[in-house]
Structure 1
């Protein structure tokens, strides 16, 4: 009996031990699988399987892990999409954009920000003050953080403030949090380059001043002589005729000024179509020189025409191109003294047609060269004041050349003459759309 009881105890013990080790192995394998699933989720991967069998609790854990993984993948995908959209927007913006924190540390910056500030590397992770010294901007940022509202300021960048140069509007915009009780610790900085706008405003003001000056002189003469005629009705016929001749001369001057202003306005607004046709430049220049022969004779000027042999035909608008050549020749003759000599060269260089008009005149000082194509610009006042004209000829010529897809530049030294060099691609860029009458 004792033997039987002992055998039963041993049997039950072995059974319990076997069951214990089986359960332990079962749970160990399930825990290992849970560990693999959670490791995959932690590393933002999708596990091969979420299936956990053998117990209702394990099935519930399996479903929960799958839901967590699905939501995590959704959030990751949405985050990537938002990042791509943000980067696309920032990259496409001409304005310089930077996101900074309260310590003025740059968190994000677009390419325009790097370009505008003249930075050589990625500004991310650096403080604004390390990159460019702008005390007024630093102060504005602090005030915007304190007030928790957008602030804006116009600044002038100079060489003393790093590589930032020109006129800029800087906006400091705190990023408002959902909770109004918590102040924003993030700010968006926007740098807008308004240099061209400022330059346009200055050019417009200068243009108005110059036009007013050009109109004032003939109008004053008109007023003076009209008053003379009114106050002196018994003037001799010869004196009245002299006055009328003076008034006529200044009427023509005003008419020329207005016509040139209207033409320049049309050219600058690009409302002119260049109607090109293949032209033999040798024949074209020979005809032009012939047309100008009376002027050359009057000015006692000798002309040397140098045309490269076998020069291909050039796509130009004969009417407007001739106007450009007339203006350049007339300008060369005005600013030179006898014995006047003019050389006109035409040649092919690479895939370009190059025309040079070379005079032996006064020359142009280097300080004036960048501005000679500006409207009404006159470098040497003592000489230019003696010359007749509207002061718009070179501006008009430049516009005509550019509408042909070409470029014009002046090469000159004082007392050594000037070379006007016109360069055009042999395959011309098309002109603009709206035609203009050639009259």
Structure 2
């Protein structure tokens, strides 16, 4: 692992460089020793041998004395002299004193000696055994030796050999190389210490930067690297640059975090649903409204998958790279969807979809259209009758007073009907605007219901319908707005009588459960179709599509008014009906309404 680090790489680089330099230096020094020192020694020794040979020629009969003098003096300068006779043995003259125990004959063989006796000069170099401490078991050491052999000329012919040699144990090449090797080892050790010291000075700031980067990778963007300002080298400048980068990155991350939180707050507060979809059709982000939209398909599609109703619009946006808008109707709700492409450079990377629930708007728009159509329909018939009968009077079509009275009666009834329609429309508009003022007062419940029943007895007799009250015992005194609850019962009883055939019955049941009063208006009329029951409290809705105006004469607003008035009292109204059997309207009210003005 250390070779992968900066310290290891720097140390290895320095070691290789120093080793290469020392090796080259060793080779160079060895070559120089070989070429200069050894060669110089050889030349000096050859010159000495030649000089001795020349001096011997000039000495004449004093050769023996001269050789003795040379033998005595040569050893003082580390050069040893051996005089051989013609047979190759040491002559009586002998050898230099204090000659080391060197086996020089290992180099000067008999063949080489023969060449010398023939008049040749020989220079040789090699390794010989040297007994430095002649004790039993002491090993023989190898030492370098430089040897020069010249003929010993006596009476003008070779009569022996003069051998000069030097033992190079104190200045040998091997010793010099050994010292170079020791120097090399010392250089490697010192270089290693220096390399590790230098690399640690370089790598320590880098290690600190590495740790700082690891902390920043974990989200600790406030991390900084200590800077050696007193040095101001490249490492210090790198640390300062890193700190500036970290500071800018921290500021950028902080700004991005603020923008993300702001965007998330905007998305959460939006009333529209937002979906972000990648180019593969996978939902990657949504807001709470969008999450609610996707929950409608929970269990039907995979998690984060696009609902089938959005897939076609998504494919169109990806294909055309343009904004598209469409409606989606699913699970009883309606949404307007606007999809726009998201770009990464020139490529579409996804789609953002904005969904708005327009179910209530569409319903209200339909109600508005139905309201206009119904009002137009309701007003058109009486206006047509008023116009027709008034023209009959103007054209004197009615000849008798009875006919004129009958026409005037029709005009009067249609005028009253139009006035009632306008009043009910105004009342309903005030109720839907929240302007229902409730003024409660105490009233005995049984007397109140009986009075309303008596008001409709004549109408019931005319229609040949039996009208009666079913009152429970011990009914309490209620705290209601008498006029508004009377209007509720009036609308329900009148509606029941008009839709009950001859011979039928209408019964008003009144009973108490706890603190709640139940008023039930039951008839034996034609009943309401099951599919129409949920809509009977809407404006202008008429379940009996085939009834005649003359018989029913309703405006379609009575039940809607009932619902608003009951709700204003804190109660509920519901209906149960069976086609061909009859209908029951159930009004549930509290015994006492709060003693204050209430608004729906």
TM-score interval (norm. to shorter): 0.7 to 0.9
Per-residue deviation, 1:137: 1.5
Partner of 1:50: 225
Paired with 1:234 and 1:278, the residues of 2 have a C-alpha distance of: 52
What does 1:32-431 align with in structure 2 at a 5 Å threshold? 32-46=207-221, 50-53=225-228, 55-57=231-233, 58-117=235-294, 118-120=296-298, 126-128=304-306, 131-134=307-310, 136-138=312-314, 140-142=316-318, 144-145=320-321, 148=322, 150-153=323-326, 155-157=327-329, 163=330, 165-175=332-342, 182-232=346-396, 235-270=399-434, 272-277=435-440, 279-280=442-443, 283-300=444-461, 301-307=466-472, 309=474, 313-314=478-479, 316-336=480-500, 337-338=502-503, 340-348=505-513, 352-383=516-547, 385=549, 386-424=551-589, 431=598
Q: Distance in 2 between matches of 1:76 and 1:48?
A: 14
**CA–CA distance in 2 between the matches of 1:25 and 1:116?**
61
Separation (CA, whole Å) in 2 of partners of 1:348 and 1:234: 60
Larger radius of gyration: 2
| CA distance 1:308–1:173, shift in 2 (3 Å) | farther
Kept in 2: contact 1:342–1:360 (CA 8 A): no
- 243-252 or 378-387, larger mean C-alpha shift: 378-387
Larger mean CA deviation between 40-49 and 391-400 belongs to: 40-49
Report the CA distance between 1:92 and its aligned residue: 2.6
Give the secondary-structure state (helix, strand or coil) at the position aligned to 1:367: helix
What is the match of residue 436 of structure 1?
Answer: none
Cα gap change, 1:421 to 1:430, in 2 (>3 Å): farther
Over residues 112-168 of structure 1, what are the superposed CA-to-partner deviations in whole Å (9 max), with x where a residue is unaligned? Answer: 23433522179898453xx214565145414540xx4x3323x352xxxxx555443
1:424 shift after superposition: 4.3
Q: Considering Cα pairs closer than 8 Å and 6+ residues apart, tell me whether 1 or 2 has the greater RCO.
A: 1
**Hey, what's the Cα distance between the residues in 1 that align with 2:300 and 2:532?**
39
1:278, distance to aligned residue in structure 2 (A): 5.5
Does the CA contact (< 8 Å) of 2:437 and 2:599 recur in 1? yes
Shift in alpha-carbon separation, 1:67–1:317, aligned structure 2, 3 A: farther
Local SS of the residue matching 2:530? coil
Mark the runs of 5 or more structure 1 residues left unpaired by the alignment.
Answer: 1-5, 158-162, 434-439
Higher strand share: 2
CA RMSD of aligned residues (A): 3.6
Shift of 1:20: 4.5
Equivalences, count? 409
Give secondary structure in 1 for the equivalent of 2:406.
helix
Shift of 1:309: 4.7
Distance 1:139 1:340, change over 3 A: same
Aligned-residue offset at 1:412: 1.6
Q: Any conservation in 2 of the 1:97–1:113 contact (CA below 8 Å)?
A: yes
Residue 394 of structure 1 and its aligned partner are, at CA, apart by 0.8
Whether the aligned pair in 2 keeps the contact of 1:277 and 1:317 (CA below 8 Å) is: yes
Task: Compute the displacement of 1:432 (Å).
Answer: 3.5
Change (3 A) 1:312 1:44: farther
What is the TM-score with the length of structure 1 in the denominator? 0.79
Distance 1:183 1:17 in 2: 56
Which one of 402, 423, 432 corresponds to residue 599 of structure 2? Answer: 432
What's the secondary structure of 2:552's corresponding residue? coil
Give the match's secondary structure for 2:526.
coil
> Which moves more between the two structures, 93-102 or 117-126?
117-126
- Secondary structure, in 3 states, of the residue corresponding to 2:531? coil
Q: Please give the alpha-carbon distance, in whole angstroms, between the structure 1 residues aligned to 2:532 and 2:522.
A: 18
SS at match of 2:528: coil
Q: Aligned partners of 2:209, 2:315: CA distance in 1, in Å?
A: 55
Distance in 2 between the 1:243 and 1:23 partners? 123
TM-score (norm 2): 0.60
Find the residue that maps to 1:97 and give its secondary structure.
Answer: strand
State the alpha-carbon separation in 2 of the partners of residues 75 and 213 from structure 1.
67
- Pairwise CA distance, 1:27: 4.2
Q: Distance in 1 between matches of 2:277 and 2:560?
A: 46
Which whole-Å CA distance do the structure 2 matches of 1:413 and 1:91 have between them?
A: 47
User: Structure 1 residues 195, 60: CA separation in 2 closer, same or farther (over 3 Å shift)?
Assistant: same
Q: Distance in 2 between matches of 1:45 and 1:56?
A: 27
Q: Over residues 196-252 of structure 1, what are the superposed CA-to-partner deviations in whole Å (9 max), with x where a residue is unaligned?
A: 222222222222222222222222222222222222278222222222122212221
Residue 236 of structure 2 aligns to a residue whose secondary structure is: helix
- Partner of 1:391: helix, strand, or coil? coil
Tell me, yes or no, if the aligned pair for 1:96 and 1:110 is still in contact at 8 Å. yes
* CA distance in 2: counterparts of 1:202 and 1:15, whole angstroms: 97
